[in-house]
Structure 1
Amino acid sequence: MAKDDFNSITGLPEELGIDEDLGRTEQRLTIRIEKRRYDKPVTIVEGFDTDSANLKELASELKRKMATGGTIQDEAIELQGNHRERVGEVLREKGYAVE
């Protein structure tokens, strides 16, 4: 292997794809609930590093798993309803650090 085939930070081969996993664990995500119009709860997930996280893909997966609607606003994922516990579980399974 050439020297360029190794990650400059970890020293591991690039083909392992460890950069994406490291990027997830370094992010500290917060999940909070906000009351919106007519006292409807909205779950908001914030703290993404937009360089390493594909928000559109992650939001789509969360909406599908929670069986709810949602959107991306100001680099945060918003889901209709109170899904704090379940969203935290799903994000931890994907390797994110959730506060």
Structure 2
Amino acid sequence: MADDDVFENVPDVGEDLARAEQRLTVRVERRTYNKPVTVVEGFDPDAVDVRDIGTQLKKRLGAGGTVKDTSVEVQGDHEDRVRDILTEMGFAVED
């Protein structure tokens, strides 16, 4: 019994803590032909998987986009919805 780890089934809080410590900004830019693009910046690529977060955002919004080193771009004006989704994921989003 002494060898049993009582914390064995407790989820790792490292990534949750890393998410909460990041300060993300969300804005909408107008690109070619006045098309809106929602840009999320401020990810720490060493703390979270930016590619995975970009995939989740694009899937939940039903939109295309791209992932860069520390940012995610989603086609369309999704500023409010992106803020809500990121907050659900545990990120702090600046106003």
Same-fold status (TM-score > 0.5)? yes
Q: What is the Cα deviation at residue 73 of structure 1? A: 2.6
Aligned length: 90
Q: What is the Cα deviation at residue 74 of structure 1? A: 4.2
In 2, the alpha carbon distance for the partners of 1:16 and 1:66 equals 28
Q: Deviations over 1:70-92 (max 9, x none)?
A: 00134210000000000100000
State the 4+ residue runs in structure 1 displaced beyond 4 angstroms. none
2:27 is the counterpart of 1:32: yes
Aligned to 1:63: 58
Structure 1 stretches lacking a partner, 5+ long: 6-12
Q: What is the Cα deviation at residue 53 of structure 1? A: 1.1
In 2, the alpha carbon distance for the partners of 1:94 and 1:74 equals 19
Structure 2 stretches lacking a partner, 5+ long: none
Determine helix, strand or coil for the equivalent of 1:34: strand
> Which residue of 30, 39, 52 maps to 2:47?
52
2:79 is the counterpart of 1:87: no
* TM value normalised by structure 2: 0.86
**Matched residues, percent identical?**
48
